[in-house]
């Protein structure tokens, strides 16, 4: 298979830089476009210089022109930006890996409809390890389905703008599905004051924001006399970048369709 031509948006951001580094180090991938917002100091600079690996690809603010050069776009920006880039991908028949979180139900429907024309991987977390955890949570929830209170605790850096994280929400969805529940009906996103006894049918969420925490997630199954915990802790953003490139290679063989990382990894 020839190298997959990759375009990256948000090139000068924390995740963008990690994606650039991972792409430049992967012999199966070729960076053909690095895109950032107009006025960003990185515009016009060599994208590789952002990670100490000059490559001859300048950072551009022309998203559509950059996307048109690629086989696959990797997008970890914000919902409004991702949806604009998604339309560019549709026009130019470019696949897309979406790591952006915080979409509304209506915006998710737009992604699903666009996937009828182009191949899309849309997942709240691209890490291989996190997606293994999703599988473990499905198994654990089916076994610990009686007598265990379930709580999800997540922690991220101070710059993250949505809460709970998309990963924590997906964990909740996996657990709820395994238990035959609807997360929208059983989720509790915060507790304060006199809340009364805990409803055993609920799934609780707790959110921490601070410093430079990349991403910690722990699910607690709290029973009588014991507690089972399943955790994932990210030490850097590189696992998300490596998983994204794996997803891009997966899409190279697809004409269209909506996929997640469980399908990319053969876990479903």
Q: Give the pLDDT of residue 1.
A: 63
What domains are there in the chain, each with its CATH number? Answer: 4-126+237-264 (3.40.50.720), 128-234 (3.30.360.10)
Q: Give pLDDT, residue 26.
A: 97
Q: Give one DSSP letter per residue of 188-241, joined into a string.
A: E----S---SPPTT-EEEEEEE-TT--EEEEEEEE-SS-EEEEEEEESSSHHHH
Those residues whose C-beta lies under 8 Å from the C-beta of residue 89, and which sit 6 or more positions away, are 67, 73, 95, 96, 114, 118
Query: What pLDDT does 101 receive?
Result: 87
The secondary element (H helix, E strand) that includes residue 90 is: helix 79-92
pLDDT of residue 268: 77
- Could you tell me if 209 and 157 are in contact, meaning their C-beta atoms sit under 8 angstroms apart? yes
Catalytic residue ranges: 156, 160
Per-run averaged pLDDT (10 residues), the chain, 268 residues: 93 96 97 96 97 97 98 97 98 97 94 98 93 96 98 96 93 98 96 95 98 96 98 94 97 96 91
Burial 162-180 (b: 16+ CB within 10 A, else e): ebbbbbbbbbbbbbbebbe
Around Cβ 111, how many Cβ atoms within 10 Å? 19
């Amino acid at each position: 298979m020839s190298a997959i031509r990759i375009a990256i948006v948000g090139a000068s951001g924390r995740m963008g830089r990690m994606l650039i580094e991972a792409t430049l180090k992967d012999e199966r991938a070729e960076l053909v476009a690095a895109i950032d917002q107009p006025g960003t100091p990185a515009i016009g600079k060599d994208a590789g210089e952002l990670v100490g690996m000059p490559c001859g690809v300048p950072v551009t603010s022309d998203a559509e022109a950059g996307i048109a050069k690629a086989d696959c776009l990797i997008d970890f920006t914000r919902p409004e930006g991702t949806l604009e880039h998604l339309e560019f991908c549709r026009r130019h028949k470019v696949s897309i890996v979406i790591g952006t979180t915080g979409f509304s139900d209506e915006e998710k429907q737009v992604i699903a409809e666009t996937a009828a024309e182009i191949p899309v991987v849309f997942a709240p977390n691209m890490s291989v390890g996190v997606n293994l955890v999703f599988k473990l949570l499905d198994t654990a929830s089916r076994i610990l389905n009686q007598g265990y209170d379930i709580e999800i605790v997540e922690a991220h850096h101070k710059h993250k703008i949505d809460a709970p994280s998309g990963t924590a929400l997906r964990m909740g969805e996996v657990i709820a599905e395994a238990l035959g529940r609807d997360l929208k009906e059983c989720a509790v996103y915060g507790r304060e004051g006199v809340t009364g006894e805990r409803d055993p049918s609920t799934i609780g969420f707790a959110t921490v924001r601070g410093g430079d925490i990349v991403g910690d997630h722990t699910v607690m199954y709290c029973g009588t006399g014991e507690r089972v915990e399943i955790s994932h802790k990210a030490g850097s953003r590189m696992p998300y970048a490596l998983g994204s490139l794996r997803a891009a290679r997966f899409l190279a063989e697809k004409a269209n369709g909506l996929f997640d990382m469980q399908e990319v990894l053969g876990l479903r």
